[in-house]
Amino acid sequence: MLEEVFRDEWGRVLASLVGFLGDFDKAEEAAQEAFAIAAERWPASGMPANPGAWLVTTARNRSIDRIRRERTLAEKIHLLPAPEAIMDEFDDTVIKDERLELIFTCCHPALPLEGQVALTLRALGGLETAEIARAFLVSEETMKRRLSRAKTKIKATGIPFAVPGAHLLPDRLDAVLAVIYLIYNEGYRGRVDLGAEAIRLGRVLAALMPDEPEAHGLLALMMIHHARRRARFSGEDLVLLDDQDRSLWDMRQIVAGRAVLDRAIALGGRGAYVVQAAIASLQTRERIDWPQVTELYRRLADLTGSPVVELNRAAALAQAGDPAAALRAIDRLDLDGYLYFHSTRGELLRRLGREDEARAAYRRAIDLATSTPERRFLTRRLEQL
């Protein structure tokens, strides 16, 4: 219970402290101190009416005390020049939500991408360094260094704690969305906790930027995908959309995801995340409208120029009933190093009765497989030929 409140409040409290102290490490230290005091007191005294405000106030007071102590010490030994005034007065009834500033700082493109991801999970998501390390299969020491390098760069280079101005916003919002989606996709590979974490972050972002269709689009996309996660594997084996046990889908989350998608579309959203969410939504319908899925993939290909999207468009075209046209489209693509290029080709060749070529394509795909479930899945398809 307490833990849940802490997770919910961490980002807001930390954001407020970074804004106040202008220093990531000091803010983290102060936040941790305040949470520790709360963990000690709240079980006995009960939770305050506004836990977030209580935590921020406590953390601010503590850090002001510490700054005063350090200053007194410094004055005594004449090490530092006279300090500039620090504001003591602050209204603890209105604590500004500065999480959006924090998100844009953490996802600043001047930081290495892995640093952006780690810092976003730590600062906004409230994950412990050890948890993030486990999620990305690196040692805690490595993750600690990664976080510390990112924080050092923020401070040394003057990365602003601010929501970018209108002329920078579109690019910078794209960067934020990309970080959250990357976190989601790490979870998609079987580590469900990161998927849920990305959805939490997506929710925060959509709430903080209620008029940005792509923020809603990304959230909808993640929710709808995530709702199918239990059906995606059977034991260790991958299960394709067609063969998934729909009773394992979380229909409530799908419905909720569609509502978020509706909001994105109502805001005029036609961007890449909105289109992908629309495709994901169509694919959870009782009868899938493949011609429409094909059309949405075409739009997505126009937006992204990605050959992988073209591959998906071709696969949808085959589902819509034209495997020959799909194969022609696929053979125009330059994706020889891509596993799903060969597995999709194999499937189309099989449907067209060209079994020898299908076998060769599946063998090539198996050569490119990097995970055991992928390899087992492809081997089964090959054996079924």
Partner 1 sequence: MQYALLIYAEPGYDQALPDAEREAAYAEYLALADDARCIGAAHLQPAETATSVRVVGGRTLMTDGPFADTKEVLGGFCLVEAANLDEAIELAARIPAARLGGAVEVRPVVPR
Tell me which residue of 184, 21, 173 sits closest to 103, measured CA to CA.
Answer: 173
Q: Which is nearer to partner 1, 46 or 158 (CB)?
A: 158
Task: Find all residues with CB under 8 Å of 255, minimum gap 6, and list them.
Answer: none
Residues at the site binding partner 1, with contacts judged by CB under 8 A: 108, 110, 156-160, 162, 164, 168
Q: With residue 206 as reference, give the H or E element that holds it.
A: helix 192-208
What does the alpha-carbon distance between residue 310 and residue 301 come to, in Å, rounded to a whole number?
6
Q: DSSP string covering 172-201, please?
A: HHHHHHHHHHHHHHHHHTT-HHHHHHHHHH
Given a contact cutoff of 8 angstroms between Cβ atoms, the answer to whether 123 and 195 are in contact is no
Alpha carbon 101 to its chain centroid, in Å, reads 17
Given a contact cutoff of 8 angstroms between Cβ atoms, the answer to whether 208 and 173 are in contact is no
The sign of the dihedral angle between the CA atoms of 47, 126, 86, 90 is negative
Q: With residue 233 as reference, give the H or E element that holds it.
A: strand 233-234
| DSSP alpha helix (H) spans, 241-370 | 251-266, 272-282, 290-304, 307-319, 323-331, 339-351, 355-368
Encoded amino acid at 356, one letter: D
Task: Find all residues with CB under 8 Å of 148, minimum gap 6, and list them.
Answer: none
Given a contact cutoff of 8 angstroms between Cβ atoms, the answer to whether 313 and 301 are in contact is yes
What does the alpha-carbon distance between residue 314 and residue 333 come to, in Å, rounded to a whole number?
10
What does the alpha-carbon distance between residue 206 and residue 225 come to, in Å, rounded to a whole number?
17
